Every structure is written in C-alpha cells, then in structure tokens.
Structure 1
Amino acid sequence: MSPILGTFSDKAGRRKPWLGFFSLVAILAVAAMWFVRPSADDVLLALVLLAVANLGFELAIVFYNSMLPSFVPRHLFGRVSGWGWGAGYAGGLVCLAIALVWIVQPETPPFGLDKEMAEHVRAVTPLAAIWFAVFALPLFFFTPDEPRTGLPFRRVLREGLSEVLGTLRTIR
C-alpha cells in the first residue's frame, strides 16, 4: 500500500491533506483506546484500534517522508531526517515521562481517575493523542506543500500504479 500511496503522492502534488487525514485517523484511534477497559470483552476493540492507529500512522509517514525533498537540499536529507526522527522519539519519551509521573504512578490519580477500572493507565492514550496532534501542528503551519498537479484523480492513480508495477518488473 505504501509504494502505491508514495507514487500517488508524487503524481498528485499536495501532500499535507493526505498527511493530515492519515494523522487524524491515527490520533482518533489512539484517543479511542481510552474506551478499552481491562476486560477480556474489550480485547477485540483494543486490537482493532491498535491496527487502525498503526495503519493511520504508517500511511501518514508515507506523505511525511515525501515532503522532505520539498524543503531540504538533497545533501541534507539524512541529517534532517535523522534529527526529525530523533526529535520525535525524544518527544515520545517526554510524553511517557509525563504520563508516568503525573498520571500512572501517583497514589491518587489526577482528575478522580478510577484505578480499579485502570483509568489512570487508560488516560495515557488521550494524552498521547493530544501530544501527537499538538506537535504535528507546526508541520502543517510552517512547512511548504507542493502545488496540486491538476491531474485528474484517475490519471494520477493509473500512472502511480503503472510506476509501481514497472518497478516490480525490474526486480525480477
């Protein structure tokens, strides 16, 4: 799916709408994990939400990665990409530390969260969703996006699929 979306992204031009859509899918699925109770009855819900969140994130990454050539010189791709991933991981660790210290570990959880229903643990998912949303905003506000190519959707799809199939043929 990623190679098809990658070529679609290259042919269509604009990436931010797709990045925003798939990021929103991931954010909403992570936030919805709050509703997963510590019960065998909720295992399927947990698995579905995890799969949707992961799919949304991974598909958002396709469009995120395809934006790099738009605003970074080729010789800096590795450095900027590495710093971006490093900052993302560092931010994730900060979010984890905040969640542990402020929500999960206190003897009396904040906001009257019920430990019996694992609400102090479940509250980490809305925090992570909010964290993702807030720290994604600068990308949407302060980075350029490619202009729309103006190609019809069917043509973009056809050319993208053709390119992927051509690449697969060269692998043989």
Structure 2
Amino acid sequence: MKIEDNSVVSFNYEVKDAKTGEVVDSNMGQAPLSFITGKQQIIPGLENQMKGMSAGENADILVSASEAYGEYNPEAVQTMPREQFAGIELQEGMTLYGQSEDGQTVQVTVKSFSDEEVVIDFNHPLAGKDLLFTVNITEVREPTVNESLSGQVEQPDGHGCGCGTGCGCH
C-alpha cells in the first residue's frame, strides 16, 4: 500500500540542518513515529514528499524552511523586563515555556540577558532552516474506525497517539 491521504504511516527518521549537516533530531533505533496523513500531525513538506512511498522504502527528503517550521521572523524577538523572569536561573540558549493570552503553550529561547532585560525569541528553534530527513517507512495501512474518528493513531495496547514522547500528544 502506498502513502496517500488518510493513511496511517509509521516511520523512523533522522533530520539534519541541510546547511551544516548537524543532526537535530532522530528516532533511529527507537519506536517509529506514527501519524495519519492529512491531519497536519507532521510538517507539511515532509508529509507531501512521503506520499506515494510504501513500507520498506527509504528516502532522503529535503524540506525547505517555508514547508517546515517557517522562515525566521526577526519581529518574533522581544526584549522583556528581567523581573518577569524572577526565580529563573537564566542561561543563553535555554528554552522556556509559558502561556499565551489565548491559553496556548508558548516556547521561547533566551537569546541574551542583563540585570535589567531579557531578550527572548518566539521563533521555533528550526525556523529559517532547510531540513534534510532520512526516512525509513516501516508501515502503511488504513486507519481503524477509532483512528478515523479520533484522528490519532492507536498503539497496540489501544492507547496513545503513536508519536513517542516528543510530539505533544496527550
């Protein structure tokens, strides 16, 4: 079966910054990442280029920044008063999590700080980067009725969303 819309796809991957060759994420040697196509569960450029592949296939897929985590937006860098970070031992490059006005979780990176101010970056850490994915498709199948209704991949134990620990499932 080939990957098409509304397929359950499981795959292993390694992703590198296409410019520097630095590995930025990988699940090689771990449980595959599973998702349902067409549900916006992985970056669009990767999903689009995986369509037509089958279980057992391997590929190197180059995804442009615009189809990955977006272009880097310099306006997403803000300077805030240091007192808003009271009790936090700040380090340059550290990731902090907060809550937006609409209740969504927001991830920021500390760019720099002084006794008076903290410069934070709301851009995703991979924004502005072209990414090279090495993928191995381990399974392609039709979703179950429950998966179609929930939009989430069931695990063999009947729970979870099939994405391991890093994709924000509940």
Q: TM-score, normalised by structure 1?
A: 0.27
Whose relative contact order is higher, 1 or 2, with alpha carbons under 8 Å and at least 6 apart?
1
Structure number with higher helix proportion: 1
Structure number with larger C-alpha Rg: 1
Q: TM-score, normalised by structure 2?
A: 0.27
